[in-house]
Amino acid sequence: MEKHSHIIPALISAVIPGLGQIVKGQVVKGLLIIILGVTISFLLFWTIIFPILFWAWNVYDAYTSDSEKRFVNDTSKRANA
Protein backbone atom coordinates (compact mmCIF):
# COMPACT_ATOMS: atom_id res chain seq x y z
CA MET A 1 0.00 0.00 0.00
CA GLU A 2 2.90 2.39 0.57
CA LYS A 3 3.65 2.61 -3.17
CA HIS A 4 0.15 3.99 -3.74
CA SER A 5 0.91 6.89 -1.40
CA HIS A 6 3.72 7.96 -3.72
CA ILE A 7 1.68 7.90 -6.93
CA ILE A 8 -0.41 11.02 -6.25
CA PRO A 9 2.56 13.27 -5.32
CA ALA A 10 4.46 11.97 -8.36
CA LEU A 11 1.53 12.81 -10.67
CA ILE A 12 1.18 16.24 -9.09
CA SER A 13 4.92 16.86 -9.55
CA ALA A 14 4.62 15.84 -13.19
CA VAL A 15 2.18 18.71 -13.69
CA ILE A 16 3.78 21.28 -11.37
CA PRO A 17 7.35 20.41 -10.37
CA GLY A 18 7.84 20.70 -6.61
CA LEU A 19 4.17 20.53 -5.66
CA GLY A 20 4.38 16.79 -5.02
CA GLN A 21 7.13 17.37 -2.46
CA ILE A 22 4.99 20.02 -0.75
CA VAL A 23 2.05 17.58 -0.62
CA LYS A 24 4.34 15.02 1.05
CA GLY A 25 5.34 17.61 3.65
CA GLN A 26 8.75 18.54 2.22
CA VAL A 27 7.90 22.22 1.91
CA VAL A 28 11.42 23.67 1.67
CA LYS A 29 12.49 21.10 -0.91
CA GLY A 30 9.30 21.69 -2.91
CA LEU A 31 9.72 25.47 -2.87
CA LEU A 32 13.35 25.16 -3.99
CA ILE A 33 12.30 22.95 -6.89
CA ILE A 34 9.58 25.43 -7.86
CA ILE A 35 11.99 28.38 -7.70
CA LEU A 36 14.63 26.50 -9.68
CA GLY A 37 12.05 25.41 -12.26
CA VAL A 38 10.75 28.95 -12.72
CA THR A 39 14.30 30.29 -13.05
CA ILE A 40 15.30 27.66 -15.61
CA SER A 41 12.07 28.23 -17.56
CA PHE A 42 12.68 31.99 -17.63
CA LEU A 43 16.27 31.56 -18.82
CA LEU A 44 15.23 28.93 -21.37
CA PHE A 45 12.62 31.30 -22.77
CA TRP A 46 15.07 34.18 -23.20
CA THR A 47 17.99 32.11 -24.50
CA ILE A 48 16.29 29.61 -26.79
CA ILE A 49 12.60 30.29 -27.39
CA PHE A 50 12.75 34.08 -27.78
CA PRO A 51 15.53 33.98 -30.42
CA ILE A 52 13.61 31.33 -32.37
CA LEU A 53 10.44 33.44 -32.23
CA PHE A 54 12.41 36.52 -33.29
CA TRP A 55 13.96 34.61 -36.19
CA ALA A 56 10.53 33.29 -37.26
CA TRP A 57 9.09 36.80 -37.14
CA ASN A 58 12.05 38.04 -39.19
CA VAL A 59 11.43 35.44 -41.90
CA TYR A 60 7.68 36.14 -41.89
CA ASP A 61 8.26 39.88 -42.12
CA ALA A 62 10.70 39.48 -45.00
CA TYR A 63 8.14 37.34 -46.82
CA THR A 64 5.13 39.58 -46.24
CA SER A 65 6.70 43.03 -46.24
CA ASP A 66 5.70 44.97 -49.34
CA SER A 67 7.69 48.17 -48.77
CA GLU A 68 11.06 46.54 -49.44
CA LYS A 69 9.74 45.08 -52.67
CA ARG A 70 8.73 48.55 -53.85
CA PHE A 71 12.13 49.93 -52.88
CA VAL A 72 13.93 47.28 -54.92
CA ASN A 73 11.66 47.96 -57.91
CA ASP A 74 12.17 51.72 -57.63
CA THR A 75 15.94 51.32 -57.48
CA SER A 76 15.99 49.04 -60.52
CA LYS A 77 13.87 51.52 -62.49
CA ARG A 78 16.29 54.33 -61.66
CA ALA A 79 19.28 52.26 -62.75
CA ASN A 80 17.66 51.47 -66.11
CA ALA A 81 16.55 55.04 -66.75
pLDDT for 70: 59
Q: Range of 58's domain? A: 4-80
pLDDT tens across 18-76, in order?
999 999 999 999 999 999 999 999 999 889 999 999 999 999 998 888 765 555 555 55
1 has a pLDDT exceeding 50: no
23, 8 contact by CB (below 8 A): yes
Distances (CA, A) of 39 to 8, 28, 32: 25, 16, 10
Q: What's the predicted TM-score (pTM) here?
A: 0.60
pLDDT for 26: 94
Number of domains in the chain: 1
* Distance separating alpha carbons of residues 81 and 74, to the nearest angstrom: 11
pLDDT for 69: 56
